A and B are shown apart, each in its own frame.
Chain A
């Protein structure tokens, strides 16, 4: 693709420069307008950064907020209470460590389920499935991404929680395990879709060469095709991770929402997103609690931004290396 993409726009450029003399005002207005509108996307990202950051900043700078909490105190344990998130008690406690641990716990379960399932499914759809089924399989799996997350959450709350309790015998009906399984529904299509693209991007010459050298189908797949697509699969996992830590409604409904700090997957747990979703509606605007919630949002935004940038970079690099034959 590299060679063709450079030649096509160059031709386009020459053509537009030859027309430039004849251009009249509607042409110019249209181009400017379209260009300005495309700035909306850049503006939105900047505005999100600025306005979430603006409300989060008082946690670091404001002396009024510092009477209740400082930025360092968000991570340090309380002397008498330890790692505690209890923003609406007599002495409000804002320790966000349990929330991040909760997010990681749920995400861990989700990835543990989703990664093997979706990567295997991607291998099947892109390499092994009969041609006729293949065309229907990918859209069918991507249909899962179209189920609104609140519906998946509701399903996890009503149905999945009962199943999990029957199988694992957890004491609490809603726990990290249930939320993680629910989250897997949302993460699977992401990982599947990206890794299927990555596998498909491996040139056919790799496969023919491997088979020509006498390897079996599984050898060609596991030793040649999969290693070549590995960066793309890694990117898929990274993007799936980004999706998982940002998901809100599934964990609000299915995690049980107790801000406990422990390693058990069978205890109720509370994530960063669920905390924002549940507490922002009732918080006093401008209070320390309000600013801490925005700080949580800002941290979440920055981490997903970083995760997504890494993922995009890997995909881009891989496409370049494989010559971009999609």
Chain B
């Protein structure tokens, strides 16, 4: 994006009331939004810092959850997020590969997939919870019970795996969008070169395109983890338990929603924010990697290079 009108220079010579008030007004709005971020994050960090200790994150809660630590919650969140990632990332990457590498330009299927991804991203998280309960638990889980456990409710009740499955559908769009963006940023010359050397399409994708796009794929994974770990509504009915000190499926985010125990919430919140910051750092990193071949492009004289990702 090259700005032909360099902001600030030619017009700054004759600043008038309209220009100045517009700048002040919009700057103010930007500052307010940034302040909102600073206040939430700052409040969490300041409020949480004095209770955060090794003991707090390494012990189970005691005395009716008024003392002790949040270890089960951390464990539950990590296990849930890991399971979710195992499903969401491969599925998301495969979808993105299909969309950007295999699908023909006028493919109706690809269009339908895109529409569904966009809509999936807009479905309220609570509806995912209803869906998880109605589909995974009441239908799939119960079917497994009938077939394998003589109707004993084993899979037909809220559990870690169903919560993870629900979350993986919720985070699928995040992975697809950032992976596709990364795949599109891989220069065509690399694909052409690989194909010209005799590699098949599969070899080209697996050994040339995907490694080039790894940064973007990782960004997507991290964004998905940060989104999934912070969700509460979808797992309320599909997997989280309010108080199970020794069982794994107990989620930080859920405990925050149902108890008003300050310390755990603050530790949790800082974790979420930290993850997101990490994801952004990755995004910057991968953007820098992507910019490199693009910057070198004009020399190669490709007329199609004006298209930016």
Identify the A interface with B (CB < 8 A). Answer: 1, 4-10, 13, 15-16, 19, 22-24, 26-27, 30-31, 33-35, 37-42, 44-45, 47-48, 51-52, 54-55, 116-121, 123-125, 127-131, 137, 139-144, 146-155, 157-159, 184-185, 188, 192, 200, 204-205, 207-208, 211, 216-219, 221-222, 239, 242-243, 245-249, 252-253, 273, 276-277, 280-281, 285, 293-294, 297, 300-301, 304-305, 307-309, 312, 326
Contacts and interface: CB of A to CB of B under 8 A. Distances in A.
A41 B256 contact: no
Contacts of B275: 146
B5 A308 contact: no
Interface residues of B, number: 108
Nearest to B240: A281
Contact of B98 (A37, A147, A153): A37
The 8 A-B residue pairs with the shortest CB-CB distance, nearest first, are A246-B124, A148-B230, A146-B276, A120-B29, A9-B105, A124-B26, A308-B122, A37-B94
A202 B22 CA distance: 19
Given A129-B7, A148-B231, A246-B127, A143 B277 contact: yes
Interface stretch (B35-43, B49-57, B64-72, B293-301): B35-43
A243 B19 CA distance: 33
B233 A151 contact: no
B196 to A, nearest CB: 10
B117 A300 contact: no
B254 to A, nearest CB: 8
A297 B126 contact: yes
A109 to B, nearest CB: 15
Contacts of B117: 41
Interface of B: 1-5, 7-8, 10-11, 14, 16, 18-19, 21-23, 25-30, 32-34, 36-37, 39-41, 43-44, 90-91, 94-95, 97-99, 101-102, 104-105, 109-110, 112-113, 115-120, 122-131, 133-135, 138-139, 169, 172-173, 176, 188, 195, 200-202, 205, 226-227, 229-233, 236-237, 253, 256-257, 260, 262, 265, 268-269, 272-273, 275-277, 279-280, 283-284, 304, 306-308
Nearest to B195: A15
Contacts of A48: 123, 127-128, 131, 135
Given A34-B97, A148-B230, A217 B11 contact: yes
Nearest to A35: B98
Given A151-B272, A219-B18, A248 B232 contact: yes
A168 to B, nearest CB: 18
B135 A51 contact: yes
Given A41-B116, A139-B283, 19 more contacts: A4-B307, A5-B105, A15-B195, A19-B195, A35-B109, A38-B95, A40-B169, A44-B116, A44-B120, A118-B29, A130-B7, A137-B30, A143-B277, A148-B231, A155-B40, A217-B22, A300-B124, A304-B124, A312-B115
Contacts of A242: 122
B112 A204 contact: no
A294 B233 contact: no
Contact of B118 (A129, A188, A312): A312
B304 A146 contact: no
A239 B304 CA distance: 33
A116 B307 CA distance: 32
A247 B124 contact: yes
B5 A204 contact: yes
B195 A47 contact: no
A280 B130 contact: yes
A123 B24 CA distance: 12
A124 B104 contact: no
B231 to A, nearest CB: 7
Contacts of B18: 216, 218-219
9 contacts: A9-B105, A41-B172, A131-B3, A144-B37, A144-B40, A146-B277, A147-B273, A149-B232, A309-B119
Contact of A7 (B44, B90, B304): B304
